[in-house]
């Protein structure tokens, strides 16, 4: 068994992160299929406030965020149930993302309330054995969001996407809790281009610890 199989199959879970539209869920499905792992995917369509949030963010930010918080905690707590995911687990989110979104979407009073709720949940969530952080510029995110054709996402503003992207950059600049691979995914199609996917897997094979980078444009020069 090579290194990437050990990381993905034997870990408690591996997490893929990044802003809306960057391709987290698609890559999670691809990796899970390749390495016979279980998947833990976000369920945004289950959030009854999300469509309203995109049309009127200030009115619906808090219930939207609290729903996601409880949903994500419940999903991740399920990973604690014995050998439920003994074959390995790949998630398209980390719980920490919830606070990133809360910082961007909530006003000061709402965020203070959110922090109180978060603190009182008192949950223990395992750290990923591998985090893959996908980056792409806002125009790429907008193109991908448009192509997937979810009606309520049409209202997502570029300013909002930029704030999210900046929050992710700041968070992962400081991140040191797990081995981390930062991927420039701007011109990559890991689902439909086998060479792109194979290059990413090869890069994952090289990871032992610390902060790592995969920038295909630079590495191909």
Q: In order of start, what are the domains of the chain with their CATH numbers?
A: 3-219 (3.40.50.300)
As given in the structure block, the two tokens for residue 199 are 């290059």
Q: To the nearest whole percent, how much of the chain has pLDDT over 70?
A: 89
Mean pLDDT of 91-117: 96
Which of the pair, 11 or 180, is modelled with greater confidence? Answer: 180
As given in the structure block, the two tokens for residue 143 are 């193109």
Instruction: For residue 68, give every residue at least 6 positions away whose Cβ sits within 8 Å of its Cβ, in sequence order, or none.
Output: 44, 47, 98, 101
Look at residue 210 and tell me whether its pLDDT is greater than 60: yes
Confidence of residue 220 (pLDDT cuts 50, 70, 90): very low
At residue 62, the pLDDT reads 98
- pLDDT by residue (tens digit) across 188-201? 999 999 999 999 99
Asked whether the CA dihedral 40, 46, 47, 53 is positive or negative, the reply is positive
139 neighbors 18 (Cβ within 8 angstroms)? no
CA pair distance 209, 130, nearest whole angstrom: 9
Mean pLDDT of 58-80: 93
pTM of the model: 0.90
Q: What is the length of the chain?
A: 221
Look at residue 1 and tell me whether its pLDDT is greater than 50: no
Cβ neighbours, 10 Å, residue 167: 18
Instruction: For residue 178, give every residue at least 6 positions away whose Cβ sits within 8 Å of its Cβ, in sequence order, or none.
Output: 15, 127, 128, 129, 130, 131
167 neighbors 106 (Cβ within 8 angstroms)? no
What's the whole-number average pLDDT of the chain?
Answer: 89
Look at residue 32 and tell me whether its pLDDT is greater than 60: yes
CA pair distance 74, 103, nearest whole angstrom: 21
- pLDDT by residue (tens digit) across 123-153? 778 889 999 999 999 999 999 999 999 988 9
Instruction: For residue 3, give every residue at least 6 positions away whose Cβ sits within 8 Å of its Cβ, in sequence order, or none.
Output: 204, 205, 206, 207, 208
Confidence of residue 172 (pLDDT cuts 50, 70, 90): very high
Q: What are phi and psi of 184, to 5 degrees?
A: -80, 100
Mean pLDDT of 94-122: 95
Confidence of residue 155 (pLDDT cuts 50, 70, 90): confident
Mean pLDDT of 111-118: 96
Look at residue 218 and tell me whether its pLDDT is greater than 80: no
What are the Cα distances from residue 135, in Å, to 1, 19, 217? 29, 8, 13
């Amino acid at each position: 068994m090579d290194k990437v199989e050990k990381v993905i199959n034997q870990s408690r879970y591996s997490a893929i992160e990044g802003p809306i539209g960057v391709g987290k869920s698609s890559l999670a499905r691809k990796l899970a299929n390749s390495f016979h792992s279980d998947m833990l995917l976000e369920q945004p369509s289950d959030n009854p406030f999300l469509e309203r949030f995109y049309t009127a963010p200030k009115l619906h930010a808090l219930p939207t965020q609290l729903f996601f918080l409880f949903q994500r905690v419940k999903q991740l707590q399920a990973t604690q149930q014995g050998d439920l995911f003994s074959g390995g687990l790949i998630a398209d989110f980390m719980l920490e993302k919830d606070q990133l979104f809360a910082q961007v979407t909530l006003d000061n009073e709402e965020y203070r309330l959110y922090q109180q709720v978060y603190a009182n949940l008192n949950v223990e969530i395992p750290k990923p054995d591998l985090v893959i952080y996908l980056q792409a510029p806002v125009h790429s995110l907008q193109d991908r969001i448009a192509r997937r054709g979810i009606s309520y996402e049409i209202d997502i503003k570029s300013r909002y996407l930029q704030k999210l992207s900046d929050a992710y950059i700041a968070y992962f600049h400081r991140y040191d809790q797990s081995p981390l691979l930062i991927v420039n995914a701007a011109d990559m199609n890991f689902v439909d281009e086998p060479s792109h996917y194979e290059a990413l897997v090869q890069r994952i094979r090289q990871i032992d610890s610390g902060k790592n980078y995969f920038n295909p444009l630079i590495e191909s020069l």
